[in-house]
Structure 1
């Protein structure tokens, strides 16, 4: 299937402001795109790019004062097959994990494992290790948190999401990641596109999606505690320890978001 992808941010800035944008499709899907998803700004400004420590493609710029728009678009080819199911077992002892998986066992800005460790073991110590335990965590988080877009909060940690029982997809993901790490299972935060392919209407307005990848049996596997089911047309943008590593726009100064659009739909 061919998927039309795109995003647009309409900003107002009171002064020239440096920014870092993580809006491009992840390099692992670059061969699937019909054309590059170059970042376009209005007014046009110089852009420079680099890869961060997680391999994500980051774009640096200075947005001018006033009205400023930034976005990207492309068409990507997708198999149309739902997420591949993870193995039910496959948990690797900590001492045998590869070094690149270790950072995703540790606490981070939003995944406060030190606060949640005792509760994680109370809830999940009797589940079977591996994929079955991860699924049990996703099942719990999926029902424990009530989705409410109006109660989104950029500062909410995993422990706060657990205590408050409300949030958006990033909160589901942070809590599930924290629980996995508490149970010695490496888990990393992912952000990307996820349309409503294969789902019944009505459809919510487009938005980016947060989910996680968990290291089992020598590979990384997708789990989605917000939707808690295999989905079609998931397109990765960036990975990190949590949302602090992969903001769509990181602004080094104040700005006002006046408009926001995400497009994920099947192309003609």
Structure 2
């Protein structure tokens, strides 16, 4: 399937304000791009990219006094296959985990394992470690939290979401991640596009989405506590320990988000702009 995706967002600020944006498609999906992916700004300002420690593409820029608009639209090819299901996947003992995976067992800014471990163990310790345990955590989180945009706030943590029982997709992800880590299962936060093309009806306004991945025998597997079912059409943008590592936009000064639009829809192949092969000599 060809998917057309992108965003248009505007910020306001009284003073020139440095910004950091993780709005590019993750490098693991670069080969799937079928059109150019380029962030444009109004007014035009210098941009440059670097790769952070989690493998995300980050863009640095400075918003001029008054504000700025960031926008991008691109076409990407996707197999449109639901998330893999591997019910026999077992947990990897902590002593056998690769060194680079250990960071995803630790507590982090939004995933306070120290506050949730005494909640997690009575709930999940009797379930076979691995896929079954993770699925139980996903189902619990799905039922524990009631979705609502009015419940979102940038300071909300996994423990807050557990206590208040409300949140948005990132809160579902944070709580499930924290509970997995409490059970010694490495988990990492993911953010990107997830349209409604695989659903029978449109679900709310289009937005960026958050989900998570866990490390079991066989590698990383995708889970989604908000939907509690495999989904198709994910377009990954960034990963990290939690939303602090994969924030879509960070401003280093006072600013206000004044416009926010995200689009994701199927694009007919005969209308897609496919990049031609080119040989440089």
TM-score exceeds 0.5: yes
- Paired residue total: 268
Aligned to 1:30: 30
Instruction: Kindly indicate whether the alpha-carbon contact (under 8 Å) linking 1:9 and 1:261 is maintained by their aligned counterparts in 2.
Output: yes
Residue 73 of structure 1: how far off its partner (Å): 1.5
Output the CA distance in 2 between the equivalents of 1:55 and 1:68: 26
Map of 1:255 onto structure 2:
255
Output one character per residue of 1:214-235: Cα deviation in whole Å (capped at 9) or x when no partner.
Answer: 0011300000001111111011
Alignment check: 8 A CA contact 1:89 1:129 kept? no
Please tell me whether residue 117 in structure 1 is matched to residue 117 in structure 2: yes
Q: Which piece of structure 1 moves more, 195-204 or 151-160?
A: 195-204
> Could you tell me how far apart the structure 1 residues matched to 2:87 and 2:99 are?
22
Deviation at 1:13, TM superposition (A): 1.2
**Aligned counterparts of 2:10 and 2:51: Cα–Cα separation in 1:** 25
Q: Contact 2:14–2:67 at 8 Å: present in 1 too? A: no
What's 2:40 paired with?
Answer: 40
1:205, distance to aligned residue in structure 2 (A): 1.3
Deviation digits for residues 83-129 of structure 1 (CA, Å, limit 9, x no counterpart): 11134332000000001110000000000000101110011011111
Identify the residue that residue 192 of structure 1 maps to in structure 2: 192
For normalisation by structure 2, the TM-score amounts to: 0.94
- Mapped to 1, the partners of 2:5 and 2:68 lie a distance apart of 21
Q: Over the residues paired in the alignment, what is the CA RMSD in angstroms?
A: 0.9
Q: Is this contact kept in 2: 1:149–1:168, CA < 8 A?
A: yes
- Structure 1: where are the runs of 5+ without partners? none
**Which digits, 9 at most, give the CA deviation of each residue in 1:139-175, with x for residues without a partner?**
0000010001111111111111111100000000000
State the distance in 2 between where 1:179 and 1:22 align: 26
Give the aligned partner of residue 75 of structure 2: 75
Which segments of 5 or more consecutive residues in structure 2 lack a partner in the other structure? 269-281
Residue pair 1:16, 1:65 contacting (<8 A) in 2 also: yes
Q: By how many angstroms is 1:67 displaced?
A: 3.4
Contact 1:194 1:234 in 2 (8 A): yes
Q: Distance in 2 between matches of 1:22 and 1:71?
A: 13
Q: Quick one: distance in 2 between partners of 1:21 and 1:40?
A: 12
